[in-house]
Amino acid sequence: MNGRERAVAGKAEARTAHAARPWEKNIRRVTPYVPGEQPQGGRLIKLNTNENPYPPSPAVREVLKAMEPDMLRKYPDPSASALVNALAGYYGLNPEQVFVGVGSDDVLGMAFLTFFNSDRPVLFPDVTYSFYPVWAELFGIPYETCPLNADFTIDPLDYDRANGGVIFPNPNAPTGCFLPLRQVEEILRHNQDVVVIVDEAYIDFGGESAVSLLGRYENLLVVQTFSKSRAMAGMRIGYALGSPGLIKAMQDVKYSYNSYTMSLPSILAGEAAVKDEAYFRESVEKIIRTRENAKRRLAELGFTFPDSKANFLFIRHRTVGAKELYDALRSKQIYVRYFSGPRVSDYLRVTIGTDGEMEELLRFLEEYLDAPAKRGSRQK
Amino acid sequence: MNGRERAVAGKAEARTAHAARPWEKNIRRVTPYVPGEQPQGGRLIKLNTNENPYPPSPAVREVLKAMEPDMLRKYPDPSASALVNALAGYYGLNPEQVFVGVGSDDVLGMAFLTFFNSDRPVLFPDVTYSFYPVWAELFGIPYETCPLNADFTIDPLDYDRANGGVIFPNPNAPTGCFLPLRQVEEILRHNQDVVVIVDEAYIDFGGESAVSLLGRYENLLVVQTFSKSRAMAGMRIGYALGSPGLIKAMQDVKYSYNSYTMSLPSILAGEAAVKDEAYFRESVEKIIRTRENAKRRLAELGFTFPDSKANFLFIRHRTVGAKELYDALRSKQIYVRYFSGPRVSDYLRVTIGTDGEMEELLRFLEEYLDAPAKRGSRQK
């Protein structure tokens, strides 16, 4: 039990009146990841969980409409071959280089469990996906964070030291910063004795994937998801691409936990989505155009932000605090993400929505920032 | 690394020419569970993985047909409330007493991770679901098995000793034996300082659920699945029922691994299936009638078996070996399950199919057992 777990167990005891029950002594106590809120209701603008504003490929609808319930009574193919083959074809890889799971969190969690078994610390950035330390603590994996540069970029030299593995998102979250491929390769060159995971949840929005490095680095695992660029967060599909050795090791762990992770609808709808490349390209390009337009408008309003290559912007206003803006937006049913941690509490993470949604956001910000006096009175 | 893992790592090294690669040293090596084969093709009789021969409720079809792809672009409700509430209503429990996951393997795996953190061994029967030792080894949990009685029944007294937790299926697999509820309670009475898991994957086929004991035992976790009685193996839905304290601990671990495990189709189709109780009862009763008929016929053919309360029979012939029968059936595209381990290698596990499927199986067995001479010549 590390310090954090102990603190949490302590809190749990304080919370419940029955903490002394004997069967409670061996329960694993953890601090879970807190997902972004999922507000319900029609008239709201949801720019807080990096979902795609456009629906998935129409081919997905056809697959679901054609599903006969009788197909559901059997276990699905445990290797999810239809989906694995579609992904292998799309990336020009071998099916033995593709692992699929229940969203990229499942894939990443399984990768932590499979590959990070060293006594040396796993390294990742200090400002990054907040699930990394949660998995490390769940599985008792030592870790250390490497501070990002002042402009939120990753310094590859920080990862040039003894470690038990490396993981970072590219583009990084919640900053949106993209690490150029030659720097990704620099990290790989310095870390040939451990597994290096590049978490590419947002790669399709303008970054360049490390998939092209797979042929040269057998210790590289690239993780991607259907939840963002493919607009299928509700279907729960993520995947890892890597050398057959890495993928086999993950399969073995998966088959030691749950043989049948992928439901039949996920396998078939995922396959259909991958095959509709034209639709995919088109909706991703729409989001990129909207993002670049939002960058111009936000800069005019006095916001600064890293040059995001993801489907979100990490913005800070030169005079108005992030928490204040978050609350003001929320009161208008516009949901963005606010993180209270060190280095990030001045920022809001804003998902790129449709042009219409972004227009509503920008108009509200325009008005709000234009009326500080009114704002003051509203706030008391 | 225990002996078994070491042996496997050794095998892996022998297998691959590149085992000396430095990044391979920290990979978790495990012996995965081997699921029953999933043969493909039209003209085959699949009685090997305990699937339901009847389709799920027609309400499931309606849900899938009505799904708009636009609903898939958002993350699903991480608490899967619609499904949780339907299950709570069905069992007369509080929603805080229900945990859902990606099939009961996901739920059981998470329960192992959450509750079995003692240095003392977890106890389960020697002949039982073969995934239990796999999870224990994956998570480094010590365990000991308690030999079943000669008739394959569980002796509750075997579980009356210091341990780190208890788990057993009821009815047990692959035997089909049901442990009467007063004996389940005897195990609970002797194990109030650990979590006791009753794995009720097959309970709907004639057993009596330990759900009725939940009010008296806060350390009891009952696990069930949609894969058997509800005919939805392809949808991946399992669940656990227990005291709010146990469920909260599992939720915390789940939210430390993957917040969004249940896809939207699984949540909605699962909810619809639970609400169609009439259809469920009817199809379960059909299977029970077919099973009881199969028992009579198999006994006439010289088979013995425990008195199964599950949707399968665990049969042994008085003269012909199980492996021989398995191979003969397989050559006729009739798939049943054969386990090669100690105590069980004389038996076949035969899933209860439709009346028509069972008739084909029984007719083949009749003919085969009637013609030992012919059989001998076929075998050489």
Q: Is the pLDDT of residue B76 over 80?
A: yes
Q: Predicted ipTM?
A: 0.91
Instruction: Out of A70, A116, A269, name the one closest to residue B55 (CB).
Output: A70
From CA A271, how far away is CA A82, in angstroms rounded? Answer: 6
A32 to B233: CB separation less than 8 angstroms, yes or no:
no
Give the closest-approach CA distance of B184 to chain A in angstroms: 17
Residue B279: its chain A contacts at CB < 8 A?
Answer: none
Q: Is B6 a residue whose pLDDT tops 90?
A: no
Amino acid at residue number A140: G
Helix axis angle, B277-300 relative to B355-370, nearest 10°?
10
- A64:B64 CB<8 A: yes
* pLDDT tens figures, B154-170: 999 999 999 999 999 99
Mean pLDDT over residues A91-113, rounded? 98
Question: pLDDT, tens digit, for every residue of B202-213?
Answer: 999 999 999 999
Please give the pLDDT value at position B15: 39
**In this predicted structure, what is the pLDDT of residue B26?**
83
CB contact under 8 A, B245 and A24: yes
Q: Are strands A238-242 and A220-225 parallel, antiparallel or unpaired?
A: antiparallel
Work out the minimum CA distance from B300 to partner chain A, whole angstroms.
Answer: 30
pLDDT at B34 over 80: no
Q: Do B28 and A114 touch (CB under 8 A)?
A: yes
Q: Mean pLDDT for chain B?
A: 91
| Chain A residues close to B233, C-beta within 8 Å | 72-76, 260
Name the DSSP letter for residue B73.
Answer: G
* pLDDT tens per residue across span A16-31: 444 568 878 888 888 8
The residue ranges of every structural domain in chain A are: 1-31, 45-54+278-379, 58-275
Per-residue pLDDT at A269 exceeds 60: yes
Question: pLDDT tens for residues A353-378?
Answer: 999 999 999 999 999 998 765 555 44
* Structure-block tokens of residue B73: 């672009």
C-beta atoms of A259 and B33 within 8 A: yes
What percentage of chain B exceeds 70 in pLDDT? 92
* pLDDT attached to residue A302: 97
Mean of the pLDDT values across residues B311-315?
A: 98
Q: Which of B15, B48, B17 is nearest to B29 (CA)?
A: B15
- Judge: A74–B51 Cβ closer than 8 Å, yes or no: yes
CB burial string B265-277: b at 16+ within 10 A, e below: bbbbbbbbbbebe
**Where does the pLDDT of residue A69 fall: very low under 50, low under 70, confident under 90, or very high at 90 and above?**
confident
Specify the pTM.
Answer: 0.91
May I ask the CATH class of domain B58-275?
A: alpha beta
CATH number of B45-54+278-379: 3.90.1150.10
Spatial distance between the Cα atoms of A356 and A21, rounded to a whole number of angstroms: 55
Paired residues of B202 in beta bridges: none
Q: Which long-range contacts (CB under 8 A, 24 or more apart) does A284-291 make?
A: A284/A204, A284/A205, A284/A229, A286/A54, A287/A52, A287/A53, A287/A54, A287/A205, A287/A229, A287/A311, A287/A352, A288/A205, A288/A206, A290/A352, A290/A353, A290/A354, A290/A355, A290/A358, A291/A205, A291/A352
Please give the average per-residue pLDDT across A147-155, as a whole number: 97
Q: Report CB contact under 8 Å: B256, A30.
A: yes
User: Is there a cis peptide before residue A174, judged by omega within 30 degrees of 0?
Assistant: yes
Q: What percent of chain B has pLDDT over 90?
A: 84
Contact (Cβ atoms closer than 8 angstroms) between residue B265 and residue B237:
no
Taking CA–CA distances from A66, the nearest residue in chain B reads B65
Here the tokens at position A284 are 């991703």
Residues of chain A found within 8 Å of residue B27, distances taken between Cβ atoms: 114-115, 117, 195, 249
- Residue B75 CB partners (closer than 8 Å, separation 6+): A35, A38, A49, A51, A227, A233, A234, B260
pLDDT band at A6 (very low <50, low <70, confident <90, very high): very low
The predicted pLDDT at position A342 comes to 86
Contact A134, B254 (CB under 8 A): no
Q: What confidence tier does B32 reach under pLDDT thresholds 50, 70, 90?
A: confident
Query: Closest Cα of chain A to B81: distance in Å?
Result: 12
Annotate B185-208 with DSSP letters as a single string. HHHHHT-TTS-EEEE-TTGGGT--
**Residue B195 and residue B188: Cα distance in Å, rounded?**
9
Q: What is the pLDDT of residue A9?
A: 36
Summarised one tens digit per residue, pLDDT across range B279-306 is 999 999 999 999 999 999 999 999 999 9
A229-257 pLDDT tens trace: 999 999 999 999 999 999 999 999 999 99
Q: Tell me the chain A residues in contact with residue B269 when contact means C-beta distances shorter than 8 Å.
A: 72
* E-only strand ranges, B130-175: 143-146, 165-169
Name the minimum distance, in Å, from the CA of B353 to any CA of chain A: 12
User: Which of A178, A177, A197 lies closest to A187, judged by CA?
Assistant: A197
Q: In Å, how far is B49's CA from the nearest CA of chain A? A: 8
Contact B256 A118 (CB under 8 A): no
Is it the case that residue B171 has pLDDT exceeding 50? yes
C-alpha B164/C-alpha B141 separation (Å) is 9
Whether the predicted pLDDT of B7 surpasses 50: no
Give mean pLDDT, residues B341-370: 96
To the nearest whole angstrom, how far is the Cα of A380 from the nearest Cα of chain B?
Answer: 34
Give the chain A residue whose CA is nearest to the CA of B47.
Answer: A74
Q: Quick check: A232 and B73 CB within 8 A?
A: yes
Q: Looking at A71-169, list the stretches that DSSP marks H as alpha helix, in order from N- to C-terminal side.
A: 81-91, 103-115, 131-138
Q: A75, B232: Cβ pair inside 8 Å?
A: no
- Nearest neighbour of A103 by CB, restricted to B30, B233, B258: B258
Rg value, chain B, Cα: 22
**Chain B residues touching residue A252 (CB < 8 angstroms):** 29-32
How confident is the model over B78-107, as a mean pLDDT? 98
pLDDT higher than threshold 80 for residue B329:
yes
